[in-house]
């Protein structure tokens, strides 16, 4: 494995306790991603896509194996260290947009910056820029309940990129969108990948997403069955 990889997984296995026994969701995964990739995990439901994204995003711990982000093993990280890693390096986009309903669009996008303790004036510049990237600068003061699904997912994108993370993990980001909006989203993400050099890792069933991917990794029953660069 080369050491200048952004993400490295080495013999990663994940088992969940189920009843008295265990269920192996991922077994012996070896993978690496370099900076600027636009890659996706595909595979049937239950194949382990979300589980793998959660491990890389430090939302969950692997049972065995090593996961390195920027060369640092995150396997034994504390809750605080994992939180810091996510805060500084990783952005998330979810299937259900998961905006905080009581806050405005502006405040939703601002939140990751508040966690980073960035001063208010700097935050303003960054939030407005992020909203401009996704073309939503004019709805900054609306509430999530007042906008459409496509707009909400664009807000979620703005929120994930506002702190300019190295990695964005997108778990089925288009699953709730019609095709017009799905394409719009993928165009935005592709642009961000090309212009800002952010590394993207998707999970998807959606052929519209797969069309955009530059690398497709197929999972089945927790194992990698194919890994091809287009």
Partner 1 sequence: MLEFLFKGLIRDKSRSVLPVIVVALGVSLSVFFVGYMKGMIGDVVDQNARFNTGHVKVMSRAYVQNISQKPLDLSLLDAEVLIKDLKHQYPEMNWVKRINFGGILDVPDENGQTKTQGIAGGIALDLSENSIDKERMKLGNNLIRGTLPKGAYQIILGEGLAKRMNVNIGDKITFFGSTMDGAMSFQNFTLAGTVSFGTSVLDDRTFIIDINDAEQVLDMVDAAQEILGFLPNDVYDESKIETIKNDFNTKMSVETDEFTPEILALKDQAGLRYMLDIANISTSLFSTLFIIAMSIVLWNTGLLGGLRRYTEFGIRIAMGESKKAIYKSLILESIIIGLIGAVIGTLLGLGLTYYLQEVGIDISDMMSQNSMIISNVIRAKVVPQQLWIGFIPGVVATLLGALLSGRGIFKRQTSQLFNELGV
Ligand X SMILES: Nc1ncnc2c1ncn2[C@@H]1O[C@H](COP(=O)(O)OP(=O)(O)OP(=O)(O)O)[C@@H](O)[C@H]1O
Of 161, 162, 167, 159, nearest to 201 by C-alpha is 167
User: How many C-beta atoms surround the C-beta of residue 85 within 10 A?
Assistant: 18
Q: Which of residues 95-154 bind partner 1 (CB under 8 A)?
A: 96, 98, 100, 102-103, 107, 111-112, 114-116
Closer of 158 and 216 to ligand X (Cβ)? 216
| Contact flag: residue 47 with ligand X (CB under 6 A) | yes
Q: Render 35-79 in DSSP notation, one character per residue.
A: TT-EEEEE-STTSSHHHHHHHHTTSS--SEEEEEETTEE-TT--H
| Contact flag: residue 62 with ligand X (CB under 6 A) | no
Structure tokens at 173: 């980001």
Are 160 and 168 in contact, with CB atoms under 8 Å apart? yes
Interface residue with partner 1 among 10, 49, 86, 154 (CB under 8 A) is 86
Interface residue with ligand X among 40, 48, 112, 173 (CB under 6 A) is 48
Distance of closest approach, residue 199 Cβ to partner 1, in angstroms: 17
| Contact flag: residue 50 with Mg ion (CB under 5 A) | yes
Distance (Å, whole) CA 55 – CA 51: 6
Among ligand X, Mg ion, partner 1, none, residue 48 binds (CB under 5-8 Å by kind): ligand X
| Contact flag: residue 50 with ligand X (CB under 6 A) | yes
Identify any residues that bridge with 23 across adjacent strands, giving them in sequence order.
16
> Is residue 133 left, alpha or beta, with left meaning phi > 0 and alpha meaning psi from -120 to 50?
alpha
Are 171 and 203 in contact, with CB atoms under 8 Å apart? yes
Distance of closest approach, residue 24 Cβ to ligand X, in angstroms: 8
| Contact flag: residue 27 with ligand X (CB under 6 A) | no
Residues that bind ligand X (CB under 6 A): 16, 18, 23, 25, 43, 45-51
Residues that bind partner 1 (CB under 8 A): 54, 57, 59-61, 79-80, 82-88, 90, 92, 94, 96, 98, 100, 102-103, 107, 111-112, 114-116, 159
């Amino acid at each position: 494995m080369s050491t200048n990889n952004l993400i490295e997984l080495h013999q990663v296995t994940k088992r969940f306790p189920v009843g008295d026994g265990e269920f192996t969701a991922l077994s012996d995964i070896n993978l690496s991603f370099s900076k600027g990739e636009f890659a996706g995990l595909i595979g049937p439901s239950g194949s382990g896509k979300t589980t793998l994204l959660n491990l890389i995003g430090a939302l969950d711990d692997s049972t065995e194996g090593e996961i390195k982000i920027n060369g640092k093993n995150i396997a034994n990280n504390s809750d605080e260290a994992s939180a810091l890693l996510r805060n500084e390096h990783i952005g998330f986009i979810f299937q259900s947009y998961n905006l905080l309903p009581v806050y405005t669009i502006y405040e939703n996008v601002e939140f990751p910056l508040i966690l980073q303790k960035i001063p208010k004036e700097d935050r303003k510049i960054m939030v407005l820029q992020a909203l401009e990237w996704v073309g939503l600068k004019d709805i900054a003061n609306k509430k999530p309940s007042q906008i459409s699904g496509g707009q909400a997912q664009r807000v979620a994108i703005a929120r994930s990129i506002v702190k300019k993370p190295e990695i964005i993990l997108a778990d089925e980001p288009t699953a709730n969108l019609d095709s017009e909006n799905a394409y719009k989203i993928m165009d935005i993400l592709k642009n961000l990948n090309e212009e800002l050099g952010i590394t993207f890792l998707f999970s998807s069933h959606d052929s519209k997403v797969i069309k955009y991917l530059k690398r497709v990794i197929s999972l089945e029953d927790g194992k990698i069955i194919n890994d091809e660069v287009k």
